[in-house]
């Protein structure tokens, strides 16, 4: 009997570049053994990265599908696998499998819309893929507002790209904020939910949001105060996963599996599910 390759068996990838983004976030470029992009994906989709002997974990793909050369993962150092990744040198091989999940509806529901992207901290990782996809297909979308906040200026992920590229493009309004005053910062100071309310966005916009659960909760309340409906807001979740195939049972919320039915959900759909995320 010929056996098919099991979906749990990964491929080998090579980490070609590691960029230090913040004191605890690094961005890893990964290619296949042939030096090419390992697979195609949709913004918001994820992949399993692992180092044999250390463990396997799921990360969102932060590069845009329009990038033809490699996949990028922005990873915060916070656990076993991520600590190992932060300590590795470029040139090393890792294993990867994917892509997993549904991704943001960039070619359907988001198309033609004025977009409001809201991110907090490492929550920029999955939505950066959306932002760069929209930038590469500019004619397909309306205006692009980006609200991004972090603890401090140093904790803003992809700061160079934000300042050198996003801020300089027509049709993109970038609104940065940090939690507390600091010397070399003349921008906005305050938490993301309040800043979103202050900016008083037009309610015709479609919202894409990612950040810590507490930010999501208060930002959603703020958006609703402004008059946004839950069905205008998309967010992405991350729960513990082992298989990413909808079988190991870990990321089950209600009758959904975050790995295959998500990780992107429209917030009105989330309202029908148990509050276990």
Partner 1 sequence: MKQLALSKLNELFAAMAAQQQLYIPADKGGQAQFLPYVDGMELTKSLNTARSAKDLFFPQTEDIVGFQVKGTEITIEETRDPGAPFVVFGVRACDARSFEILDRVFLSDPVDTFYETRRTNGTVVTLACTRPEETCFCGAFGIDPANPGGDAAAWMAGETLYLKANTKKGEKLLSSLPLLADCDDNAVETVQAEIHAITEKLPLNKLDLTGFDGDHLMEHFNNPAWSKLSESCLGCGTCTFVCPTCQCYDVRDFDTGHGVRRFRCWDSCMYSDFTMMAHGTNRPTQKERFRQRFMHKLVYFPSNNDGIYGCVGCGRCLAKCPISMNIVKVAKTLGEGTK
Looking at the Cβ atoms of 52 and 171, the one nearer to partner 1 is: 52
Distance CA 258, CA 252 (A): 6
242 contributes a contact to partner 1 by CB under 8 A: yes
CB atoms within 10 A of CB 132: 22
139 contributes a contact to partner 1 by CB under 8 A: no
What phi and psi values does residue 155 have, to the nearest 5 degrees? -90, 0
255 contributes a contact to partner 1 by CB under 8 A: yes
Query: Rounded to the nearest whole angstrom, what is the least distance from the CB of residue 243 to partner 1 in the complex?
Result: 7
Q: Total residues at the site for partner 1 (CB under 8 A)?
A: 44
What phi and psi values does residue 58 have, to the nearest 5 degrees? -95, 135
Looking at the Cβ atoms of 199 and 273, the one nearer to partner 1 is: 273
SS3 category, 17 = strand
- Are 240 and 55 a contacting pair, CB within 8 Å? no
Query: Rounded to the nearest whole angstrom, what is the least distance from the CB of residue 19 to partner 1 in the complex?
Result: 19
Query: Rounded to the nearest whole angstrom, what is the least distance from the CB of residue 36 to partner 1 in the complex?
Result: 18
Distance CA 257, CA 162 (A): 33
Looking at the Cβ atoms of 3 and 139, the one nearer to partner 1 is: 3
Among 111, 135, 250, 266, binds partner 1 (CB under 8 A): 250
- Are 43 and 64 a contacting pair, CB within 8 Å? yes
Which H or E run includes 275?
Answer: none
Q: Using CB under 8 A, which of the segments 152-160, 163-171, 172-180, 251-259 binds partner 1?
A: 251-259
Minimal CA–CA distance to 145: which of 112, 113, 174, 167?
174
The dihedral sign for the CA sequence 112, 169, 16, 18: negative
Alpha carbon separation from 139 to 66, 113, 114, 134, 143 (Å, rounded): 15, 11, 12, 9, 10
199 contributes a contact to partner 1 by CB under 8 A: no
Distance CA 90, CA 9 (A): 23
Looking at the Cβ atoms of 164 and 272, the one nearer to partner 1 is: 272
Looking at the Cβ atoms of 53 and 168, the one nearer to partner 1 is: 53
269 contributes a contact to partner 1 by CB under 8 A: no
Distance CA 204, CA 19 (A): 37
274 contributes a contact to partner 1 by CB under 8 A: yes
Among 68, 183, 184, 272, binds partner 1 (CB under 8 A): 272
Distance CA 3, CA 246 (A): 21
Among 16, 95, 140, 152, binds partner 1 (CB under 8 A): 95
Looking at the Cβ atoms of 112 and 274, the one nearer to partner 1 is: 274
Site string for partner 1, 12-31 (x = CB under 8 A): x-------------------
Contacts to partner 1 from residues 46-75, by CB under 8 A? 50, 52-56
* Residue ranges that bind partner 1, judged by CB under 8 A: 1, 3-10, 12, 50, 52-56, 78-80, 82, 89, 91-95, 239-240, 242-243, 245-250, 252-255, 272, 274, 276-277
């Amino acid at each position: 009997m010929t056996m098919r390759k099991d979906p749990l068996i990964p491929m080998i990838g090579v980490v070609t570049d590691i960029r230090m983004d913040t004191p605890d976030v690094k961005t890893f470029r990964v290619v296949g053994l042939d030096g090419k992009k390992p697979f195609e994906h949709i913004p918001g989709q994820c992949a399993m990265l692992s180092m044999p002997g250390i463990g396997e974990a799921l990360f969102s793909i932060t590069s845009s599908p329009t990038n033809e050369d490699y996949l990028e993962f922005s990873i915060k150092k916070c656990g076993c696998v991520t600590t190992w990744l932060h300590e590795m040198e470029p040139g090393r091989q890792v294993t990867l499998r994917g892509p997993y999940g549904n991704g943001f509806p960039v070619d359907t529901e988001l198309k033609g819309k004025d977009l409001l992207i809201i991110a907090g901290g490492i929550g920029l990782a999955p939505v950066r893929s959306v932002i760069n996809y929209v930038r590469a297909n500019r004619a397909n979308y309306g205006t692009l507002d980006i609200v991004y906040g972090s603890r401090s200026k140093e904790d803003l992920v992809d700061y160079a790209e934000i300042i050198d590229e996003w801020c300089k493009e027509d049709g993109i309004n970038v609104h940065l904020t940090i939690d507390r005053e600091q010397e070399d910062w003349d921008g906005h100071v305050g938490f993301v939910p309040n800043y979103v309310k202050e900016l008083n966005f037009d309610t015709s916009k479609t919202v894409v949001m990612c950040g810590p659960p507490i930010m999501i909760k208060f930002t959603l309340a703020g958006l609703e105060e402004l008059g946004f409906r839950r069905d205008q807001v998309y967010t992405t979740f991350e729960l513990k996963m082992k298989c990413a195939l909808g079988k190991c049972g870990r990321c089950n919320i209600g009758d959904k599996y975050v790995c295959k039915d998500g990780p992107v959900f429209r917030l009105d759909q989330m309202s029908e599910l148990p509050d276990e995320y």
